[in-house]
Chain A
Amino acid sequence: MIGTDLIDRRALPVMAVRRSQRYWNKVLSEAERPLARKALHRWAMWAAKESAYKLEARLDAARPFQPKRYTTLRLEERESGWHGLIRGVQGTYPVAWRLQADLMLALCWRAGDPAPRWKTSPRPTAQSPGLAVRSLMQQVVQDYFPDPHSWCLQAPRGGIPSVVQPNHSRSVPVSFSHHGTYVAVAWPAQLCL
């Protein structure tokens, strides 16, 4: 089980103007606020909450996202990236943030599983976000399964996107995200087993 959330960092200055302390009080619990040592940490925690929600939505798709139900317990900056821990409704999960010049990607996965793999891409402005993430995921899956007839991508609206191998009765949940003019996909390390 994995979840991911992408933030286009170029949009943050505009978004920050609208987001007052009152906004963050709706999003971050009192216990989390000291972890935000700089502005980007707040957005990192937001993305972690979204990614944990996506992970858990696989178990309970009907539950709406309520940011305060997810609590960032740890956020550490290391040379390899930012790492942390988030407590959700149904468990506590490792979370990693991957920072690039324009992007921040949060990845969340079940404790004990290997960290998920991921890929980001700019989105052509004429292409819808939904189409762009599907297209990127298709590129990823083709690297694992060169035969295009051996798999298909199912991404029902509002549902859980999955890579499906009909011949093996196998379905592997993947995770999509988009923000601004970027899209991201994440998939479990064991996709090709």
Chain B
Amino acid sequence: MDQNALIEKLKEVIKPYLEDETLLEKVDGDTHLIDDLHINSANLVDIILDAEDAFDIEIDDESAERMITVKEALAVISEKIEA
């Protein structure tokens, strides 16, 4: 899966947890999941679970901790897909 397809799929995973869906329009690699998208920490766990389902991967606790920005989330997802 190329990077564009990955980011689009990740946006779909994130979308249900946004109070303001228009924030997705500005998403790029540097977008911070909590500070920029205002996702709360409880929903961050939901997103990890939904990403596991969407990408058919398992995200361990250490990897989840690295998913701070969109770029870092994509790196973890790519890593798990390739594993």
Contact = CB atoms under 8 A, between A and B. Distances in A.
Contacts of A157: 35
A67 B45 CA distance: 9
Contact of A65 (B41, B48, B49): B41
Contacts of B44: 65
Contacts of A158: 35
Range class of the B interface residue count: 10 to 19
B46 interface: yes
Contact of A26 (B34, B49, B68): B49
A50 interface: yes
Contacts of B45: 23, 26-27, 67
27 contacts: A15-B42, A22-B49, A23-B45, A23-B46, A23-B49, A26-B45, A26-B48, A26-B49, A26-B61, A26-B64, A27-B45, A46-B42, A50-B41, A64-B34, A64-B65, A64-B68, A65-B41, A65-B44, A66-B61, A66-B64, A66-B65, A67-B41, A67-B45, A68-B61, A69-B65, A157-B35, A158-B35
Interface of B: 34-35, 41-42, 44-46, 48-49, 61, 64-65, 68
